[in-house]
Amino acid sequence: AALRLDPTNLQTRFHLALNLETRGDWDKAQAVMAPVLRMNPTDPLAYTRVAEMDMDLRHYEAAQTRIAQGIAIAPDSQALVADQAALYLLQGDPQRARQWSAKLTATDGIRQQLDYSAYMQLRQFAQALSAAQAIPDSGDGLAMADKGLMIAAAAQFTGDQALARNTLAKARDAIE
């Protein structure tokens, strides 16, 4: 119904597509997102959303194309830089992911989360722990729980069982 009211609304299309993805309607999700770049050819957010959908569907070559197109339009787009780093992680290339995450300047914790994932893939657990601990506290219970789970996992691999246990207890408390 919302698309009938405003078929060009990027956010509406993206949220509808995510909902369809969640239900397993991959073909319908793609159909909802298909016209986005045609309708928004100069909007970096459009490239971000389509690339993220491609990554969700494991269409990595398509995601790479969308990210490159978006970066050509908006080379300073933090969302596209983060998507490039995330794509490299999905493709098992944590070194390149770290190169891209180093370009992030936002203070919202995305860089630290990407670095955590890259260091975990590289089995550099002390660095992963440092990255997770550097994620800013948001006050959001689920985000705090996610941060806690990252810290606990890295702590477990570094052998710091006490930190892992304490952090897991705090993560549980954050969502209760």
Question: What digits encode the pLDDT tens for the residues 36-86?
Answer: 888 888 989 889 988 998 998 899 999 999 999 999 999 999 999 999 999
Q: Which residues contact 144 (CB under 8 A, 6 or more apart)?
A: 137, 138, 170, 171, 174, 175
3-state secondary structure of 97: helix
pTM for this model (two decimals) = 0.82
Work out the average pLDDT over 105-132.
92
Q: Decide if pLDDT at 8 tops 80.
A: no
Q: Which residues contact 35 (CB under 8 A, 6 or more apart)?
A: 7
Q: How much is the pLDDT for 3?
A: 53
Buried b (16+ CB within 10 A) or exposed e, 60-69: eeebbebbeb
Work out the average pLDDT over 98-110.
88
Q: How much is the pLDDT for 56?
A: 87
Q: How much is the pLDDT for 5?
A: 53
Q: How much is the pLDDT for 13?
A: 82
Q: How much is the pLDDT for 153?
A: 95
Work out the average pLDDT over 167-176.
85
Q: How much is the pLDDT for 12?
A: 85
CB 125: neighbour CB atoms within 10 A? Answer: 18
Q: How much is the pLDDT for 4?
A: 61
Q: Decide if pLDDT at 34 tops 90.
A: no
CA distances from 141 to 20, 90, 152, 174 (A): 26, 26, 16, 5
If one compares 39 and 132, the residue with the highest pLDDT of the two is 132
